[in-house]
Amino acid sequence: MPLTPSQLAACATGSSDDHLVNIGPHRVHAQIADDFKSLQQAAEKAGLSLAIASSFRDFNRQSAIWNAKFSGQRPVYNKQQVAVDLSTLTDIDKCHAILLYSALPGASRHHLGTDLDIYDEAAIAADYELQLSPGEYCHTGPFARLTTWLDNNLTKYGFYRPYQHDLGGVSPEPWHISHIKQSQVMCDQVTLEAIKNKISCSDLLGKDAIVEHLPSLFSRYVTNVAPVPI
């Protein structure tokens, strides 16, 4: 049975998992599972072992990541991969620093179930500690061949990279792929009002600064993504 608009909105802001199915230990949107399996199979024929590092995260999980970074329990890195000293920053500047690599709870594309962080399991040793850093996916990194293959094949299977280029918001993430069609359906449910309501009722650190600056944060870090391939 199709989800109602209110159910879709709850899914899109990380409040519900009614839209998900399992792929191994990971959960993804039911409407992208077949396309992702086709992508995996094609990658396997090319000698790649396409694996999911992260898929769906609900609002509470994204909030835990956010709060750990905002409070200094987890490091926050700049584009040069240098840890930022958050103790010198205002609350809104802390938000900008975190949003470079971690999404705002309630507005994360990982709530949608249509977005995945992927890597090539065959390119690393079993004890390799995955970082999901730009260096791993560049021409000298272990996932260089995966990057090239995705460049040439990703859209054939209905996916693209929303953070492929630096647009002044989220830093480029070559590991992050999104289902073109279904992500658009879900993103239509992610509104300023829905995010504001969710954050206002949460225990999110810095939420007063977030709510005050939400329109500008929304335009810079949420909707500011690469255009969908035609």
pTM for this entry: 0.95
Residue 230 domain flag = no
Does the pLDDT of residue 144 top 90, yes or no? yes
Look at the chain and report how many structural domains it folds into. Answer: 1
124-161: b (≥16 Cβ within 10 Å) or e:
beeeeebebeeebbeeebbbebbbebbeeebeebbbbb
pLDDT digits (tens, 9 = 90+) for 18-74: 999 999 999 999 999 999 999 999 999 999 999 999 999 999 999 999 999 999 999
SS (H, E, C) 14-72: CCCCCCEEEECCEEEECCCHHHHHHHHHHHHHCCCCEEEEECCCCHHHHHHHHHHHHCC
- Name residue 78's amino acid: N
Q: Which domain holds residue 98?
A: 5-118+131-222
Predicted local distance difference test score (pLDDT) of residue 4:
83
CATH of the domain at 182: 3.30.1380.10
pLDDT digits (tens, 9 = 90+) for 87-140: 999 999 999 999 999 999 999 999 999 999 999 999 999 999 999 999 999 999
Answer for the pair 11, 18: CB distance below 8 angstroms, yes or no.
yes
Residue 6 banded pLDDT, cuts 50, 70, 90: confident
Residue 215 domain flag = yes
